[in-house]
């Protein structure tokens, strides 16, 4: 297959992922839970093994060959992450444990010290708990106001509502999922940034889902904070990214205290190292950074545009195949959407359905996907079954899912 001169051969891509050739209970694995965590290509696995076999030591500490090599590899991962996001400066890239920690870092350091009482944080109805709970904690701590922008019935961010909620100029931060992990909705990020900045608010995007499926250009986007998590980008667990404008990081106090984040320490006081070190207390995820670097190189070599084009075709196909199955209701039909499909059925509870699909070799997630308020919003308290795609997902897998959903209806009838 070819798109704008970029080729994408999903059959060849699948061979890069050792786990995909596995049989589950005698059936081919149909892995449709990449939105929760993606599988890993051989190059990521090998890079991490090679790091531990040949180039491992602690970073930023030893004046010896291995420590210098590990430090170089760690900092190279930071530079690669900056290039991946087209961030203006690698010093604005902070490594955290995952997206959740990266958002908590912002809520803690920026939210508690730069945001003023009387200001508000605004998030949307389609947030993951990772982009809700830190703001609840901030509210309890600092008494900031929280505002929630509505999501329309088709699953889009309600921009009129956003406009209205920004109007009094009290919002200090707009924190929104760049792509929903339930509805698949891709938020109109550029517009949101323009609206927020015009109203004097900073913007944080939770790019946990989006960064995997779309090219992110932070210089063009002009977002203040952008977070994503390594394990969804075909990289390892244990590493996440906060990309922030340097001017914000400079004003923020540290999140955690310890080694590596200080310039001077006496027994009475410490002076902070400049960012990003200020926010990376203790031994960082060294092997994980090497794995993330390999994952970034992998998707970059395939081409984010080619991945996006492949996934677009897949999403169009899924919209045709999954929307006319009797008894299945799809949540969200945003114009701009990615490969995440949450479905409620009138014939089975999400968990019963997921157990059935598992027997057919299909891995999907059942429940509320850490987005309880959104399920309440769409009137599906009991949860949904969610199929989410990766770059290795095929049209045949979507067809197989559609067939299984039809047969499941007969099973429960």
Ligand X SMILES: Cc1ncc(COP(=O)(O)O)c(C=O)c1O
Query: CB of residue 407 vs ligand X: minimum separation in angstroms?
Result: 29
Query: CB of residue 310 vs other proteins: minimum separation in angstroms?
Result: 27
Binding partner of residue 345 among ligand X, other proteins, none, CB under 5 to 8 Å per kind? none
The 3-state DSSP composition of the chain as helix, strand, coil percent (nearest 5) reads: 45, 20, 35
Q: In angstroms, rounded to a whole number, what is the distance separating the alpha carbons of residues 267 and 270?
A: 8
Q: What does residue 364 show for φ and ψ, rounded to 5 degrees?
A: -130, 165
User: Residue 208, interface with ligand X (CB under 6 A)?
Assistant: yes
Query: CB of residue 262 vs ligand X: minimum separation in angstroms?
Result: 26
Query: CB of residue 101 vs ligand X: minimum separation in angstroms?
Result: 7
DSSP class of 149: E
Number of residues that bind other proteins (CB under 8 A): 23
Binding residues for ligand X restricted to 120-179, rule: CB under 6 A = 128, 130-131, 177
Binding partner of residue 382 among other proteins, ligand X, none, CB under 5 to 8 Å per kind? other proteins
User: For residues 42 and 17, is the Cβ–Cβ distance under 8 A?
Assistant: yes
Q: Are strands 202-206 and 225-229 parallel, antiparallel or unpaired?
A: parallel
List of residues 6+ apart from 243 with CB closer than 8 A: 81, 82, 85, 87, 92, 93, 94, 218, 225, 226, 227
User: Residue 24, interface with other proteins (CB under 8 A)?
Assistant: no
Q: In whole angstroms, what separates CA 55 from the centre of its chain?
A: 29
Residue 263 exposure: Cα atoms within 13 Å on the Cβ side = 7
DSSP class of 108: I
List of residues 6+ apart from 319 with CB closer than 8 A: 333
CB atoms within 10 A of CB 301: 9
User: Residue 65, interface with other proteins (CB under 8 A)?
Assistant: no
Query: CB of residue 99 vs ligand X: minimum separation in angstroms?
Result: 4
Nearer to ligand X, 105 or 273 (CB): 105
User: Residue 40, interface with other proteins (CB under 8 A)?
Assistant: no
User: Residue 119, interface with ligand X (CB under 6 A)?
Assistant: no
User: Residue 408, interface with other proteins (CB under 8 A)?
Assistant: yes
Nearer to other proteins, 175 or 405 (CB): 405
Nearer to ligand X, 342 or 402 (CB): 342
CA dihedral (362, 368, 370, 371) in degrees, to 10, reads 130
- From the candidates 37, 56, 370, 373, give the one annotated as an active-site residue: 370
Residue 331-350 contact track with other proteins, rule CB under 8 A, x = bound = -----------------xxx
Q: Which of 119, 185, 229, 345 binds ligand X (CB under 6 A)?
A: 229
Sheet of strand 328-330: strand arrangement: 328-330, 340-345, 384-388, 365-367
User: Residue 319, interface with other proteins (CB under 8 A)?
Assistant: no
Query: CB of residue 11 vs ligand X: minimum separation in angstroms?
Result: 28
List of residues 6+ apart from 313 with CB closer than 8 A: 395
Query: CB of residue 130 vs ligand X: minimum separation in angstroms?
Result: 4
Stretch that binds other proteins, among 180-188, 213-221, 303-311, 405-413 (CB under 8 A): 405-413
Nearer to other proteins, 320 or 407 (CB): 407
Binding partner of residue 351 among ligand X, other proteins, none, CB under 5 to 8 Å per kind? other proteins
Q: In angstroms, rounded to a whole number, what is the distance separating the alpha carbons of residues 380 and 345?
A: 10
User: Residue 206, interface with ligand X (CB under 6 A)?
Assistant: yes
Q: In whole angstroms, what separates CA 386 from the centre of its chain?
A: 16
Q: In angstroms, rounded to a whole number, what is the distance separating the alpha carbons of residues 22 and 28?
A: 7
Quick one: tokens of 45?
Answer: 């696995």
Does 370 participate in catalysis according to the annotation?
yes
Q: List contacts with other proteins (CB under 8 A).
A: 348-352, 355-356, 359-360, 366-368, 372, 375, 381-383, 403-404, 407-408, 411-412
Catalytic residues: 370
Contact positions toward ligand X, by CB under 6 A? 98-100, 128, 130-131, 177, 181, 206, 208-209, 229, 240, 370
């Amino acid at each position: 297959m070819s798109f704008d001169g970029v080729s994408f051969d999903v059959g060849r891509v699948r061979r890069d992922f050792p786990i995909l050739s596995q049989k589950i209970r005698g059936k081919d694995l149909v892995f449709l839970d990449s939105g929760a965590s993606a599988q890993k290509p051989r190059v990521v696995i090998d890079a991490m093994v090679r790091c531990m076999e040949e180039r491992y030591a602690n970073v930023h500490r030893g004046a010896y060959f291995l420590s210098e090599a590990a430090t170089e590899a760690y900092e190279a991962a930071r530079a690669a992450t900056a290039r991946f996001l087209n961030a203006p400066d690698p010093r604005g890239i902070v490594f955290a444990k995952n997206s959740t920690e990266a958002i908590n870092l912002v809520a803690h350091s920026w939210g508690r010290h730069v945001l003023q009482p009387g200001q508000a944080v605004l998030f949307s109805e389609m947030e993951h708990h990772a982009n809700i709970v830190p703001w609840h904690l901030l509210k309890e701590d600092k008494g900031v106001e929280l505002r929630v922008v509505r999501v329309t019935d088709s699953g889009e961010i309600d921009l009129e509502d956003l406009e209205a909620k920004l109007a009094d100029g009290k919002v200090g931060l707009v924190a929104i999922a760049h792509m929903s992990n339930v509805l698949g909705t891709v938020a109109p990020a550029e517009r949101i940034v323009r609206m927020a900045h015009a109203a004097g608010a900073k913007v944080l995007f939770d790019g946990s889902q989006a960064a995997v499926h779309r090219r992110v250009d932070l210089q063009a986007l002009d977002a203040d904070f952008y977070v994503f998590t390594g394990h969804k980008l075909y990289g390892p667990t244990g590493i996440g990214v906060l990309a922030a404008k340097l001017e914000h990081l400079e004003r923020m106090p540290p999140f955690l205290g310890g080694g590596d984040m200080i310039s001077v320490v006496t027994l009475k006081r410490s002076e902070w190292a400049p960012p990003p070190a200020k926010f990376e207390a203790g031994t960082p995820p060294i092997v994980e950074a090497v794995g993330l670097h390999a994952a970034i190189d992998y998707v970059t070599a395939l081409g984010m545009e080619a991945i996006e084009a492949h996934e677009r075709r897949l999403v169009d196909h899924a919209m045709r195949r999954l929307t006319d199955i009797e008894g299945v209701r799809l949540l969200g039909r945003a114009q701009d959407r990615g490969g995440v499909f949450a479905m409620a059925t009138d014939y089975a509870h999400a968990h019963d359905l997921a157990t059935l699909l598992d027997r057919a070799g299909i891995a999907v997630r059942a429940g509320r996907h850490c987005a309880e308020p959104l399920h309440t919003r769409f009137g599906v308290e009991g949860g949904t079954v969610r199929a989410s795609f990766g770059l290795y997902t095929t049209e045949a897998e979507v067809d197989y899912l559609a067939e299984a959903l039809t047969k499941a209806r007969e099973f429960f009838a």
